[in-house]
A and B are shown apart, each in its own frame.
Chain A
Amino acid sequence: MITTKKTLLITLGCSWTFGEGAGCEPGMSLKEYDKIRYSSDYAWEFGWRRYVVEHFDVDHVNLGESGSSNQRQLHYAKNYFLSSKFAKDYKSHEHVIVLWGITTLRRNFMYFKDSKMYENIFLKEENVFQTKWNTNKDKMTKALYKYCYDDDVALREVQSDILHWNQYFKLYPKIKNFWFDIFGSKHYTVKIRNFIDIDKPKRDLLYQICKNHLSGEVEKWKIEGRENYDPNFLDKYSTCFGYAEEHDLVNPYSFHPYKTGYKFIGDYFIKFLTPHIDDGL
């Protein structure tokens, strides 16, 4: 018989929430890595969610997935929170915690006629775009980036969504929800009360891993002050991938944390959530 725990933890976000690459060992070849990169077993076993779930002994629903955009997570949330599954989940738990990770702004997702499915798209500078493929998805991605994308506009839209969902969750007395930046701390123009470390200029998970690793002042600028800009998958809002890569804090193939990094993130969330969870459960 499956027994229901007192609390339900719902997580949203991109690959970092899912736990992509969590089974990667230092020195692993690309071929070996490709075999385990998207494994949900490894993602669960060595990703950060398990540490939090087991520490607090809570039930868990994860909507985060590899390559996900903020838009895709909003879409999943909309569909999950209106579903009968959620109604049942809500009814059967005393508390619901929603931990929602905000990923890079330069992603989106759309339905494509040729594949007949929703696909993630990665908005990139035209010069690095892989035009050799020239698929409909590539053409649409290029057009969206060229004709319709602006970092500040994208940030405003995310903020508006965050505020809307804050208000939505507030209507459910059992829900407590929190936001966090995954990699790259955005320069939000509103102070969102339940955004983890919103008062700090840098607050993302990648930064936390790097800060924890940093031992002296010499390289401080690499995580605190540099606007690292990698048009392949990042936005202009600074990230710490340079430092993380140099110090082998992320794997060299997909730049996701190793097991130790995910464990660190798990502990970070446990520390954060403890005072918010009634009676320590």
Chain B
Amino acid sequence: MFLITFGDDWTLGTGAWYKPAMPRIVYDNTEPNYEDSWRILVRDYLGCQDCHINFAKPKSSNQRQFSLAKDYFNSKIFLDSLTRYGENDKRRDQIIVLWGLTTLRRDFKWCSDSKRYEDITLNEEYDDRYNKDKIGYGLNKWCYNDMIATKELQAEIIHWNIFFKRLGIKNYWFDSYNSKNYTISPSNFFDITAKNRDLLSLLCIKHAVSTRNSKGNWAQDPIEYALDNKLINPHTLLPKKDGHKLIAEYFIKKLT
């Protein structure tokens, strides 16, 4: 089996090394270690220790992930592996693409000041020093529309679904930390019919169920609920080690 992952910090596993009460300065200076992240737990469960490629990046936009996917699936490395397996080879079925979709309020552009691609956050304020911030402000103010962004994302999902299906590759989608209002329901999107299908909601629901919290107040503001109940680390609002374990169990159940 060969596992390919796409996504943002939630897929990469940023902050899985956070320990309870860890001060910010210690957290920021801790060497990233993804061993406790769900990605690595799933990788190990599937026996993909030596067959895993991860494209998830910190603060990544969906656009960056689509761009990375395009480059990887265009690459000689990938094309050679396909040729090796042949068109009807069952080993193509062994490739699993697990793709986490992040917030729509990010974009990805090459910036002339840094001379590199930057993930852009769509914001109401901007730091005048950086092109990415100025563009993020403009995009937010003049161009962003939730429905349009969702439609564009949906077109990408279907486009890649067709691509993977025709290649004989299994692929799955999930929402990282917010559930979008999709108007399509692809069968390979985890819990697509559920209103709250993202990983943050998963952590909140699990906690609410286990503590018999029947008020459902997590749904109003999952981040606040997760923070109040120490389900995510307070510095970067990302899952902790135990959260990653829960998420890994969720994916393992889905994939097997």
Give the complex CA separation of A112 and B144 in angstroms.
7
Given the complex, which residues of B lie within 8 Å of A163, measured CB to CB?
A: 70, 74
List the one stretch of A25-33, A55-63, A167-175 in contact with chain B. A167-175
Closest Cβ neighbor of A111 among chain B residues: B148
Number of A-B residue pairs, CB cutoff 8 Å, is: 77
B142 touches A148 (CB 8 A): no
Give the complex CA separation of A137 and B142 in angstroms.
8
Q: Mark B118-133, 1 if CB is under 8 A from A, else 0.
A: 0000000000000110
A136 → B minimal CB distance (Å): 4
A150 within 8 A of B: yes
CB-CB under 8 A for A167 and B74, given A82-B162, A113-B144: yes
A92 within 8 A of B: no
Centre residue among B112, B113, B145 by max chain A CB count within 10 A: B112
A253 within 8 A of B: no
Given the complex, which residues of A lie within 8 Å of B145, measured CB to CB?
A: 111, 113
B110 touches A144 (CB 8 A): no
Q: Mark B143-178, 1 if CB is under 8 A from A, else 0.
A: 111001000000110110011001100000000000
B73 touches A167 (CB 8 A): yes
A19 → B minimal CB distance (Å): 27
Query: Looking at chain A's contact residues, is the secondary structure mostly helix, strand, loop, or mixed?
Result: helix
B52 within 8 A of A: no
A94 → B minimal CB distance (Å): 19
Give the complex CA separation of A110 and B139 in angstroms.
9
A143 touches B155 (CB 8 A): no
Contacting residue for A114 out of B70, B111, B142, B166, CB 8 A? B142
B74 touches A149 (CB 8 A): no
A6 within 8 A of B: no
B142 touches A112 (CB 8 A): yes
Give the complex CA separation of A75 and B71 in angstroms.
18
Give the complex CA separation of A126 and B243 in angstroms.
50
Q: Mark B60-90, 1 if CB is under 8 A from A, else 0.
A: 0000000100110110000100000000000
B158 touches A112 (CB 8 A): no
A143 touches B138 (CB 8 A): yes
A153 touches B155 (CB 8 A): no
Query: Looking at chain B's contact residues, is the secondary structure mostly helix, strand, loop, or mixed?
Result: helix
A138 → B minimal CB distance (Å): 10
A164 within 8 A of B: yes
A140 within 8 A of B: yes
Contacting residue for B135 out of A113, A114, A148, A168, CB 8 A? A148
Given the complex, which residues of B lie within 8 Å of A137, measured CB to CB?
A: 142
Interface size, chain A (Cβ < 8 Å): 30
Closest Cβ neighbor of B137 among chain A residues: A143
Give the complex CA separation of A161 and B74 in angstroms.
9
A147 touches B71 (CB 8 A): no
Given the complex, which residues of A lie within 8 Å of B144, measured CB to CB?
A: 113
Centre residue among A136, A137, A168, A172 by max chain B CB count within 10 A: A168
Given the complex, which residues of A lie within 8 Å of B74, measured CB to CB?
A: 160, 163-164, 167
A87 → B minimal CB distance (Å): 10
B183 → A minimal CB distance (Å): 14
A67 → B minimal CB distance (Å): 18
CB-CB under 8 A for A147 and B70, given A112-B142, A168-B163: no
B134 within 8 A of A: yes
B residues touching A (Cβ–Cβ < 8 Å)? 67, 70-71, 73-74, 79, 109-113, 131-132, 134-135, 138-139, 141-145, 148, 155-156, 158-159, 162-163, 166-167
Write 12 A-B pairs (CB below 8 A) sorted by A numbering.
Answer: A82-B162, A111-B148, A112-B142, A136-B142, A146-B112, A147-B111, A148-B110, A148-B112, A148-B131, A161-B70, A163-B74, A167-B74
A residues touching B (Cβ–Cβ < 8 Å)? 75, 78-79, 81-82, 110-114, 136-137, 139-140, 143-144, 146-150, 153, 160-161, 163-164, 167-168, 171-172
4 additional A-B residue pairs with CB within 8 Å, beyond A114-B142, A148-B135: A79-B155, A113-B143, A148-B110, A167-B163
